[in-house]
Amino acid sequence: MTKAEIESKAQARLRADEAAITGSRRRSVSLSDAVRAFWRHPSPWIIGSLLACALTARVLVGDWRLSDAWLPVLMVATFPFFEWLVHVCILHWRPRRVAGLRLDPLLARKHRAHHADPRDVPLVFIPWQALIWVVAGYVAIGVFAFPRLGLGLTFLVVVGLLGLGYEWTHYLIHSDYRPRTRLYRAVWRNHRLHHYKNEHYWFTVTSSGTADRVLRTYPDPERVPTSPTVRDLHARESTPTR
C-alpha cells in the first residue's frame, strides 16, 4: 500500500467514525445516558471507593494545614505531565525480551487492543486487574510516604478525583456523546488525532495542548503524516516527524 493510499484510508476512517458521533443521521447519546453507562464498568467503582474512603478518613483525621491547600494545586498542575509519561512509557510499551523473559504488561496489551478498536467501550477503561494493584500502591504512598497522615489522605483524595476525571473524560471521548462546548471539543479532537492520525503525538487525554506542547508532541495535524501503525501499535515502527 502506498503512502497516498494509507493517508486516504486513514482520512476516510476518521471521517466515518466522527460522522457516527457528530453526524445528523445518528441520534446522540445524552449526558445522563453517558453517566449511567459509565457506572456500569468496574474501574469507576474501584476509584470511587478509594475516593469515598480517603475523603471520610481525611475529615475524621482533621489536622488541616496550608500544605493541604497547595498539594492539590501542585498535583493538578503536574497531572498532564504524569498522564503523558504513563501514556508514553507504560501504555505504549513495546514488548521485549529480557534475560529470556517476554515483558509485556497487561496495561500495554490492553492499550494495543484499545488502539485496534477505539470504539470497544470496555477497552476504554483501566483494567480492573491492574487498577487494584495501582490503588494499593497509592494507598501505601499516602500512608507511609508523607510526613503526616492528614497530608497523605489529602493526596489520596486528589488521586481519587483525578482518577475519576481521567476515566470519565476518556470514556466520554470514545462514547457517542456529541461535543457541545469548545473546551471539550478541543480535548475530544486532541485524543482522536492520537487514535486516528498518528500514535506518536497528542498523548494527553484530559486536556489539550498542555504537556504535549511542552514536550513537543503537539504538532500541526496537517503537517504530520498519517501513521500506518496507528491501529496496530509496533507492528511496523514508523519514525515520527517532530
The answer to the question of residue 152 being in a domain is yes
The answer to the question of residue 7 being in a domain is no
The answer to the question of residue 230 being in a domain is no
Separation of CA 75 from chain center = 16
Contact 7, 197 (CB under 8 A): no
Local confidence pLDDT in tens for the 242 residues of the chain: 565 665 566 566 655 655 554 444 445 789 999 999 999 999 999 999 999 999 999 999 999 999 999 999 999 999 999 999 999 999 999 999 888 899 999 999 999 999 999 999 999 999 999 999 999 999 999 999 999 999 999 999 999 999 999 999 999 999 999 888 999 999 999 999 999 999 999 999 999 989 999 999 999 999 999 999 999 998 765 444 44
The answer to the question of residue 26 being in a domain is no
**pTM for the complete prediction?**
0.86
The answer to the question of residue 22 being in a domain is no
Question: What CA–CA distance (Å, rounded) separates 22 from 25?
Answer: 9
Question: What CA–CA distance (Å, rounded) separates 86 from 14?
Answer: 25
The answer to the question of residue 202 being in a domain is yes
The answer to the question of residue 237 being in a domain is no
Segments forming the whole domain that contains residue 206: 46-223
